[in-house]
Chains A and B, each alone.
Chain A
Amino acid sequence: MYELKTLLPQFDIKLPNCMYELRNVSISAGAAPCPEAHKIQCNGAAKSESNNSKSVTCALDLEILGKQIQHLLKNEDTAAVLQRQEKVLKQLEELKAQLAQIREGLNIKVCGKSVQHTTACHNGGLKEVPLHDVVVNGHPNFIPYALLALKNAWRNLYTIDVKTFTHSTLADIGPAAREFEANLAKVAVNEELPKINVTLIWKNCEHTEMISSPTMYVPIYGEVNIIRYLGRVGPVEYRYENSPLCNEIDAVLDICYQLLRCTTHKSQVAMVRLLDKRLNQQQYFGGSEMSVADIGVYSSLIRMPAITDKDLTPALLAWRKRAKLITEI
Chain B
Amino acid sequence: MVEDKENTANAGQEPVSKKAAKKQAKAAKKAELKAGNAAAAAADEAAGDNAADHAAARYGLSEMIQSKDKRSEREFVLLPELNAQIGKGLFWVRGRVHTSRAKGKQCFLILRQQSSTVQCILAVGDIISKEMVKFAGNIPKESIIDIQAKAVAVPNKIESCTEQSLELFVEQIFVISQAKAQLPLQIEDASRPENADDAEGLNIRVNQDTRLDNRVLDLRTPANQAIFRLEAGVCRLFRDILSDKGFTEIHTPKIISAASEGGANVFTVSYFKDSAYLAQSPQLYKQMAIAADFDKVYTVGAVFRAEDSNTHRHLTEFVGLDLEMAFKYHYHEVLHTIGNTFTAIFKGLRDKYSREIEAVGQQYKVEPFKFLEPPLILNFADGVAMLREAGIETGDEEDLSTPNEKLLGRLVKAKYDTDFYILDKFPLAIRPFYTMPDPNNPMYSNSYDMFMRGEEILSGAQRIHVPEYLIERAKHHGIDTTKIAAYIESFRYGCPPHAGGGIGMERVVMLYLGLDNIRKTSMFPRDPKRLTP
Among A137, A165, A168, A169, the one with the most B-chain Cβ atoms within 10 Å of its Cβ is: A168
Judge whether A214 and B373 touch: CB under 8 Å. Answer: no
CB-CB under 8 A for A167 and B417, given A201-B372, A214-B411, A215-B411: yes
A135 to B415, CA, bound (A): 7
| Chain B neighbourhood of A214, CB < 8 A | 411, 414-415
Closest chain B CB from A177 CB (angstroms)? 13
Interface residues of B in 374-388 (CB under 8 A from A): 374, 376, 382
Judge whether A165 and B376 touch: CB under 8 Å. Answer: yes
Does A216 sit at the interface, judged by CB under 8 A?
A: yes
State which of B347, B374, B415 has its C-beta within 8 Å of the C-beta of A213: B415
Closest chain B CB from A170 CB (angstroms)? 9
Smallest Cβ-Cβ distance to A137: which chain B residue: B417
Closest chain A CB from B372 CB (angstroms)? 4
Mask of A190-205 contacts with B, CB within 8 angstroms, 1/0: 0000000001010100
CB-CB under 8 A for A216 and B389, given A165-B374, A168-B369, A169-B370: yes
| Chain A neighbourhood of B390, CB < 8 A | 215
| Chain B neighbourhood of A133, CB < 8 A | 382
Closest chain B CB from A123 CB (angstroms)? 22
A203 to B414, CA, bound (A): 14
| Chain B neighbourhood of A215, CB < 8 A | 389-391, 411, 414
Closest chain B CB from A50 CB (angstroms)? 63
Closest chain B CB from A182 CB (angstroms)? 15
A207 to B389, CA, bound (A): 27
A248 to B346, CA, bound (A): 48
Judge whether B417 and A201 touch: CB under 8 Å. Answer: yes
A147 to B382, CA, bound (A): 24
State which of A166, A171, A211 has its C-beta within 8 Å of the C-beta of B372: A166
Does B350 sit at the interface, judged by CB under 8 A?
A: yes
Among B374, B411, B414, B417, the one with the most A-chain Cβ atoms within 10 Å of its Cβ is: B417
Mask of A108-139 contacts with B, CB within 8 angstroms, 1/0: 00000000000000000000000001010100
Does B469 sit at the interface, judged by CB under 8 A?
A: no
State which of A135, A166, A171 has its C-beta within 8 Å of the C-beta of B416: A135
State which of B372, B389, B391 has its C-beta within 8 Å of the C-beta of A168: B372
Closest chain A CB from B511 CB (angstroms)? 14
A141 to B213, CA, bound (A): 53
Does B221 sit at the interface, judged by CB under 8 A?
A: no
Closest chain B CB from A164 CB (angstroms)? 9
A203 to B346, CA, bound (A): 16
CB-CB under 8 A for A167 and B372, given A213-B389, A215-B390: yes
Smallest Cβ-Cβ distance to A199: which chain B residue: B416
A213 to B416, CA, bound (A): 10
A166 to B346, CA, bound (A): 13
A133 to B414, CA, bound (A): 14
Smallest Cβ-Cβ distance to B346: which chain A residue: A168
Total A-B contacts with CB atoms under 8 angstroms apart: 49
| Chain A neighbourhood of B298, CB < 8 A | none
Interface residues of B in 349-370 (CB under 8 A from A): 350-351, 368-370
How many A residues, CB 8 Å from partner? 17
Does B445 sit at the interface, judged by CB under 8 A?
A: no
Closest chain A CB from B94 CB (angstroms)? 38
| Chain A neighbourhood of B287, CB < 8 A | none
Does B280 sit at the interface, judged by CB under 8 A?
A: no
CB-CB under 8 A for A165 and B372, given A137-B417, A214-B415: yes
Does B371 sit at the interface, judged by CB under 8 A?
A: yes
| Chain A neighbourhood of B415, CB < 8 A | 135, 211, 213-214
Mask of B260-280 contacts with A, CB within 8 angstroms, 1/0: 000000000000000000000
| Chain A neighbourhood of B117, CB < 8 A | none
Closest chain B CB from A139 CB (angstroms)? 13
| Chain A neighbourhood of B462, CB < 8 A | none
A201 to B376, CA, bound (A): 10
CB-CB under 8 A for A166 and B370, given A135-B415, A199-B416, A201-B416: no
| Chain A neighbourhood of B346, CB < 8 A | 168
Mask of A154-183 contacts with B, CB within 8 angstroms, 1/0: 000000000001111101000000000000
Smallest Cβ-Cβ distance to B351: which chain A residue: A171
Does B299 sit at the interface, judged by CB under 8 A?
A: no
| Chain B neighbourhood of A201, CB < 8 A | 372, 416-417
A133 to B371, CA, bound (A): 19
Smallest Cβ-Cβ distance to B376: which chain A residue: A165
A214 to B417, CA, bound (A): 11
Closest chain B CB from A99 CB (angstroms)? 25
Does B418 sit at the interface, judged by CB under 8 A?
A: yes
| Chain B neighbourhood of A213, CB < 8 A | 389, 415
Extra pairs beyond A166-B373, A167-B372 (6, CB < 8 Å): A168-B346, A168-B368, A168-B371, A168-B372, A171-B351, A201-B372
Give chain A's interface residues, CB within 8 Å of chain B: 133, 135, 137, 165-169, 171, 199, 201, 203, 211, 213-216
A-B pairs with beta carbons under 8 Å apart, 23 shown: A135-B416, A137-B417, A165-B373, A165-B376, A165-B416, A166-B372, A166-B373, A167-B370, A167-B372, A167-B373, A167-B418, A168-B347, A168-B368, A168-B369, A168-B370, A168-B371, A168-B372, A168-B418, A199-B376, A201-B416, A203-B417, A215-B389, A215-B411
